[in-house]
Structures are given as C-alpha cells and as structure tokens.
Amino acid sequence: MDKWVFLNSEYVRSEEAHLSIYDHGFLYGDGVFEGIRAYNGRAFKLKEHVDRLYRSLKALWIEMPFDQAAFAGHVEKLLEMNEVSDCYIRVTVSRGITLGLDPKNIKGQATIVISTDKLSLYPKSMYENGLEVVTVATRVANPQVLEPRIKSTGKYVCNIQAKIEANHVGAGEGLMLTEDGYVAECTGDNIFYVKDGVVYTPAAHLGILEGVTRGAVIDILGEMGIEVVMGVFTRFDLYTADEAFLTGTGAEVIPMVKLDARSIGDGKPGPLTNKLIDAFKAYVARQ
C-alpha cells in the first residue's frame, strides 16, 4: 500500500522517497534511529523517544534543522496522513551526504526519515508460554568505544550478529553480556528478573540502552508498590531467579522462561510478570 513518508523536510509518497548512495548512514552507519509504537493513533511516549533521539544526535554532533517539538509534530502529522492506528514508527537520521568520512564535507542538512510500518510481533503463544533465551558470544560494546546510550545505527551490527547467534539455536532472544561478563541486555530488549518479590534490572552505566519501555515498566512497578533495584548481575542471578521478563518497543513486556536451557523458576511465566503485562496494557490504554 502506498503511504506518506517524511523525508528531510517534506512529506513524499513512499515510492518517491529515495536516498543518496553517498549518505553517511549507508556508507558508515553514521546516524541514529528510534523505533516508536503507536496505539490508537497516538505515538506512545513520543516525548521520551524524541528526547532520546536528540540526546543521541547531540552526542554524535549531528545538527537538526528543527527542534524537538517540531519534530514530534511531524511524527504526529505522519500518523494522521497515513490514517494508521496501531503501527511501528521508524525514525532514522544520518549525518548527511558526502563520500569520505570527514563530516566537514557534508553538504546540506542531515538526512531525516520518518515512516509508519506494520508491526511484526512475537506470536501470542510466546506471551503465554514465555521466551527461551540463550547467552550469545557477542558482547555489548564497551561504553568507552561506543556509548550504548547513543542509539546509533552503526552500533546495531553487534546486535545483529548477536541475533544471528540466537537464531541459529532457535532461541527467541540472545542475552548479551558486558566485556566483564555481567548481564547487559538482549539484542532488542532490556532484561529484568524477580527474586523474593523484588525486581532487578541491569544499571544503565553497564552499557545498555535506556529503554523507553524499561522506564515505563519501572514507573508501573513503582505504582504497584514493587521495589526495583538497578545493579550489576551475573547469569547466576538469572538462573536462580523466580521469574524473568524482557521489555522493548517491539516486545512490550514478554516473559522469559529459560536461559541457556535452564528453566527460570518453574519454567512458566511468573505471577508478577503476568500482573505486569496486564498493568502495562492498562498503562498504554490510559496514555
């Protein structure tokens, strides 16, 4: 189906949205992105996503021709123009166009694309039965080399390698560790576990993406009166947890029932996880 796409500073038909072969995003992965969900025609946590996008851009010194409010306005307008209700909004910004890596030779503005697409979701059975996860050999990037809080397109070669590893053994997700072997995150999701009624999740400084869904889930757990501890954990903590779950724009909240072939708890989605999934649905509905 034909649809509108926002490209640079105008709305064009998707088949007319072409990018240069000299785009720095294509040549070097020199850009950033956001994946946002729309529910009932409204972009979920749009401000949080746009703020994260602008933080990523600032860190990479990529300049935008408009401010955050105007950018959010373009996302909302595109949703209206495409008359979509529940969809995946993809925002990609690259430094712009020049062959050669020196950014001073970039001509014109950053390349900016916003599109709305169909969501590809985990099957319903995975929410009911839970996901099996394996630890992959590919580590998350060391923050001193590639700051994970920058959602850069280039960084995702690591996550894609990790996903390939998980796919090869038929796992639903791949768990990535830090260089030191601490639990970081999955290839496209943040990770949480439950032990004795307390919820634990890796601290941001370890080299994880500070997920928008992670933030929402921490708020919801707070509303539910459940303590959330951000810290440094090993796989032992997950193997011996009562429950575990993953969060992300794509997965929302999904139970994780196995890690490296070991059952977590009794190997079924846990009661707190199931309660949280319901609470997340209610939270989304009232946004």
| DSSP designation for 172 | S
Backbone angles phi, psi at 173, to 5 degrees: -150, 160
**Nearer residue to ligand PXG within complex by CB, 23 or 185:** 185
| Smallest distance from ligand PXG to CB 18, Å | 21
x-or-dash string of contact with ligand PXG, 226-265, rule CB under 6 A: ---------------------xxxx---------------
In the list 98, 152, 153, 213, the residue contacting ligand PXG (rule: CB under 6 A) is: 213
What residues contact residue 41 under an 8 Å CB cut-off, 6+ apart?
79, 80, 84, 85
**Nearer residue to ligand PXG within complex by CB, 45 or 98:** 45
**Nearer residue to ligand PXG within complex by CB, 74 or 214:** 214
Check residue 163 for interaction with ligand PXG (CB under 6 A). no
**Pair of tokens at residue 226:** 């459940």
Pairing of strands 262-263, 252-259: antiparallel
Strand-pairing partners, residue 12, are: 5
Strands (E), the chain: 4-7, 10-13, 31-39, 42-43, 87-94, 111-117, 131-135, 173-177, 183-186, 190-195, 198-202, 228-231, 243-248, 252-259, 262-263
Stretch that binds ligand PXG, among 115-123, 209-217, 228-236, 272-280 (CB under 6 A): 209-217
What residues contact residue 153 under an 8 Å CB cut-off, 6+ apart?
25, 29, 30, 31, 32, 33, 92, 94
| Smallest distance from ligand PXG to CB 190, Å | 5
Distance from C-alpha of 125 to C-alpha of 127, rounded to nearest angstrom: 5
Check residue 190 for interaction with ligand PXG (CB under 6 A). yes
| Smallest distance from ligand PXG to CB 249, Å | 3
**Nearer residue to ligand PXG within complex by CB, 30 or 189:** 189
| Smallest distance from ligand PXG to CB 189, Å | 5
| Smallest distance from ligand PXG to CB 206, Å | 12
Query: Contact residues for ligand PXG (CB under 6 A)?
Result: 35, 159, 185, 188-190, 209, 211-214, 247-250
